[in-house]
Structure 1
């Protein structure tokens, strides 16, 4: 990673919140996110990002604070794409008759394995090995994923119960992703999903109706 000095120290003005400025910012971010999804974070830098976006590093520093800020926005963008696909898959499964939480969670799994999966794993790795610069990459993951997992829970559950189950599912899916990355076999993930499905089915079966705890 390079070119990390904040925009203010380089003397570049911050982007305004005008509609035109925000549209340009989104356009640049989309281009850079597409490149990162395809090629990973190994040689990510402000100058590389400017090249793939068809602009200059000065223009990027007009729209983003620093290379770390840009990276955080790119990672957030890729997570949003993953979340959108996951929710679409869960909705499609429900339309096909998948009524249980376990079925909806299983439906989103393929959406977690698309092109940006490796990049998002790399981002979590950066947050662990260099937390001084990249801690937000890890913290931001839970903040983005949890609301969608909460939304998949039965609507009559209490908010506390939804969050508890969503936290369990998020931690479990993260474990599956790590196992898939480091293991030569998918048997562990298959067995884990079977156990997760049983746990979620029991959670739904233990359902007295309107939950107010």
Structure 2
């Protein structure tokens, strides 16, 4: 069944997924904080009414963009898991390289902005805190269990890895000290590798 036209004049030529993909691409290149919904709609080749129809508000669109980017990052981890011989430590190193790519910084700034709003209980962030943590914990818990850790220990390792990664990313975005943050990440990975070996004994 075709969705009704909220403007009452024509059908939306852009399905929600296409609009969301375009918004993610725009956010990666230009950011979304300082642009109005009408301006963004023009950049995406649609109308602000269509964006409101699909996402409710600009803030709803921002939340959808962050959720989509997070999903893509988890898909990247899942793909690495399927490669023969890939260990949690090797995945951690590869994902750190991915996360620290400067092309992702506008999206990561948006992530932390929305995270702060969720902590303040903003209405448009309902469910954000659960959605932004639990899927990662489940993914990395499964990864660690598959490499011999007991479930409880695996979940603790997953939580620590997510927390450290996000903390270091916030440090990088705040300071721009790439060398210092990379050194700290390398130190954590070395500890992490040793801790995993000990946990499997």
Indicate the TM-score class for this superposition, using the shorter chain for normalisation. 0.7 to 0.9
Is 1:110 the counterpart of 2:101? The answer is: no
1:147-195 alpha-carbon deviations (Å, 9 max, x no partner):
3332332414333222210110011111221232233543432332333
Is 1:203 the counterpart of 2:191? The answer is: no
SS of the residue corresponding to residue 55 of structure 1 reads coil
Indicate the RMSD between aligned Cα atoms, in angstroms.
3.1
Of 186, 190, 195, which residue of structure 1 is paired with 2:182? 190
**Preserved CA contact (<8 Å) 1:40 1:119:** yes
SS of the residue corresponding to residue 43 of structure 1 reads coil
Q: Partners in 2 of 1:150 and 1:64 — Cα distance?
A: 32
Q: Partners in 1 of 2:104 and 2:183 — Cα distance?
A: 25
Provide the residue aligned with 1:120 in structure 2: 108
**Preserved CA contact (<8 Å) 2:145 2:151:** no
Q: Partners in 1 of 2:63 and 2:27 — Cα distance?
A: 12
Matches within 5 A, 1:91-110: 91=81, 95=84, 97-99=85-87, 101-110=88-97
Q: Any gaps of 5 or more consecutive residues in structure 2?
A: 1-5
**Preserved CA contact (<8 Å) 1:176 1:189:** yes
SS of the residue corresponding to residue 122 of structure 1 reads helix
TM-score, scaled to structure 2: 0.75
Cα distance change on mapping 1:126 and 1:69 into 2, 3 Å: closer
Q: Partners in 2 of 1:208 and 1:79 — Cα distance?
A: 29
**Preserved CA contact (<8 Å) 2:105 2:173:** no
Question: Once the 2 structures are TM-superposed, how far is the Cα of residue 36 of structure 1 from its aligned partner?
Answer: 1.2
Instruction: Count residues in correspondence.
Output: 187
TM-score, scaled to structure 1: 0.71
Provide the residue aligned with 1:174 in structure 2: 166
1:15-46 alpha-carbon deviations (Å, 9 max, x no partner):
xxxxxx9x811111111121111111232432
**Preserved CA contact (<8 Å) 1:127 1:136:** no
SS of the residue corresponding to residue 41 of structure 1 reads coil
Q: Any gaps of 5 or more consecutive residues in structure 1?
A: 1-11, 14-20
